[in-house]
């Protein structure tokens, strides 16, 4: 069975003291992870080592950086390289989040380089894709998301994509007042899997964990995760509440 993953994205939130308190509270909150399940914590850069230490010895629990730079090293003040993240034993890196694409103009080519650097350094990308409202309204979302995958991932080998993690974000359903139904989530996840199957074969596509990133909450996670092609969630706001994220972890298949 492919991995079922509850991934927290804390974004640019919390002081160090608040981050420590949140993690301590979560670790004290009843939740359990089966062998096929993982909890991943995407925390701000300054807290990575600290949270990594808190999770030491915990089974199936990992830390993620929220980004990395698309160059190996050099005069890029303020950036963080994949090699730096590897040196502190980071496990995952979130790449191509809709906020990075929108606010920082990250291109398909840039994301392809980031994926390459992560894989070279033994880091696991959580590759984000998804369409904005105008694309959904035009009913061209399938082609839009397929192009995102093609431009940033199709240079990789089948071996590199076996066990890969993709996160689908319906950008049009986040903070717009519109809601993505469970059926819409399943339809896009199935489409993503079919795109990967067409390029790399069914076995590779079936090994890929596809997470849903459209406002997953404690009260809807179980229904969303029950969809056959939804393998967990990339969770924003609800991951900042220990009790809620514990419920989300317990909602994994």
Active site residues: 97, 169
Closest among 59, 45, 60, 39 to 11, alpha carbons compared: 45
Scanning the structure block, which residue is given the tokens 């990133």?
A: 213
């Amino acid at each position: 069975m492919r991995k079922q993953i509850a991934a927290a994205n804390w974004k640019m939130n919390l002081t160090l003291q608040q981050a420590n308190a949140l993690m301590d509270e979560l670790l004290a909150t009843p939740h359990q992870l089966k062998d096929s399940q993982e909890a991943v914590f995407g925390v701000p850069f300054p807290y990575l080592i600290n949270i990594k230490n808190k999770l030491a010895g915990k089974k199936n629990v990992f830390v993620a950086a929220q980004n990395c730079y698309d160059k190996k090293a050099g005069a890029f003040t303020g950036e963080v390289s994949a090699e730096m993240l590897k040196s502190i034993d980071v496990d995952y890196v979130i790449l191509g989040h809709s906020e990075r694409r929108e606010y920082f103009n990250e291109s398909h080519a840039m994301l392809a380089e980031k994926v390459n650097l992560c894989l070279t350094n033994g880091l696991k990308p959580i590759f984000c894709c998804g369409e904005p409202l105008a694309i959904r309204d035009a009913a061209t979302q399938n082609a839009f998301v397929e192009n995102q995958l093609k431009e940033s991932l199709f240079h990789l080998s089948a071996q590199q994509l076996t066990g890969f993690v993709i996160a689908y974000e319906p950008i049009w359903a986040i903070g717009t007042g519109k809601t993505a139904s469970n059926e819409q989530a399943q339809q896009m996840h199935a489409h993503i899997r079919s795109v990967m199957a067409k390029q790399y074969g069914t076995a590779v596509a079936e090994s890929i964990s596809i997470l849903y990133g459209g406002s997953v909450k404690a009260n809807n996670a179980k229904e969303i995760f029950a969809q056959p092609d939804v393998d967990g969630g990339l969770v924003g706001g609800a991951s900042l509440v220990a009790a809620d994220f514990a419920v989300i972890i317990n909602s994994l298949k």
